[in-house]
Amino acid sequence: IIPNDRFDGKSKAGPYGDFVYETDHACGQLLNALKESGQDKDTLVVFSADNGPEKYAYARDQKHDHWSSEPLRGLKRDIYEGGHRVPFLVRWPGVVPAGKTSDALISQIDLFATIAAIVGYELPDTAAEDSHNQLPRLKGQVTAEAIRTTHVHNTRADHYSIRHGDWLLVDAKSGYLSGRNAAWEEKHGYPPDQRDAQLFNLAEDLGQRHNLITRHPEKAAELRDLLKKIREQGHSAPRLVREAK
């Protein structure tokens, strides 16, 4: 990460912070260009990220006391929330209500089905097997009920986690791919845990500090069964689930 000279030192959080500062500036230029060209009201803008921060985040936390994934646990390639929970901002004047926030579960996978719905394209069964149409959510037509309730994550180590509602099961001893950083965990109050799997309630424990697997074994079994079902059937998109019944 090498920010341009004009942004060097702007964030006081090293090159990474300066690059974030520069990214914000670049996004502003893009939005201004859309407005000046008269295309802003006809353009859907989505701002997101591909994953959580790289392992260098540990050094930044030590040097600048800045944790890039705050308040989350984990980094890129991990199946803890810090590995894959990222910002998701949408702008479409006149279609997407401005200034609204949502804690609904949504995935970048859902962009496929959502954009297909925008342009009126009917997806074949062999495409976007896990994509959910989030257009009603973006338009503000859906508020209470969830469009997506479940999401599966995995790492290159073939370890899986599954979220359903507020519950998340890490179906492995650890959600880290590259190993545990003991100094970071001690600093941020994470107790050691050697159990075979980890269960978290994200509504109460977004930082994933408290493994509830012993207290709620029935919930862990339920999520493990759901994970097995989704992996075996090979899809989770609502349109395919309905057709399979």
Domain with residues 44-244, CATH architecture: 3-Layer(aba) Sandwich (3.40)
* Segment 96-113, tens digit of pLDDT: 999 999 999 999 999 999
pTM, two decimal places: 0.89
* Domain residue limits, the chain: 44-244
Residues 6+ apart with CB under 8 A from 50: 86
* Segment 121-133, tens digit of pLDDT: 999 999 999 999 9
Q: Quick one: pLDDT at residue 144?
A: 67
Q: Quick one: pLDDT at residue 146?
A: 86
Strand order in the sheet with 198-201: 150-154, 160-164, 167-170, 198-201
Ranges in the chain, pLDDT < 50? 245
Q: Quick one: pLDDT at residue 143?
A: 67
Q: Quick one: pLDDT at residue 45?
A: 97
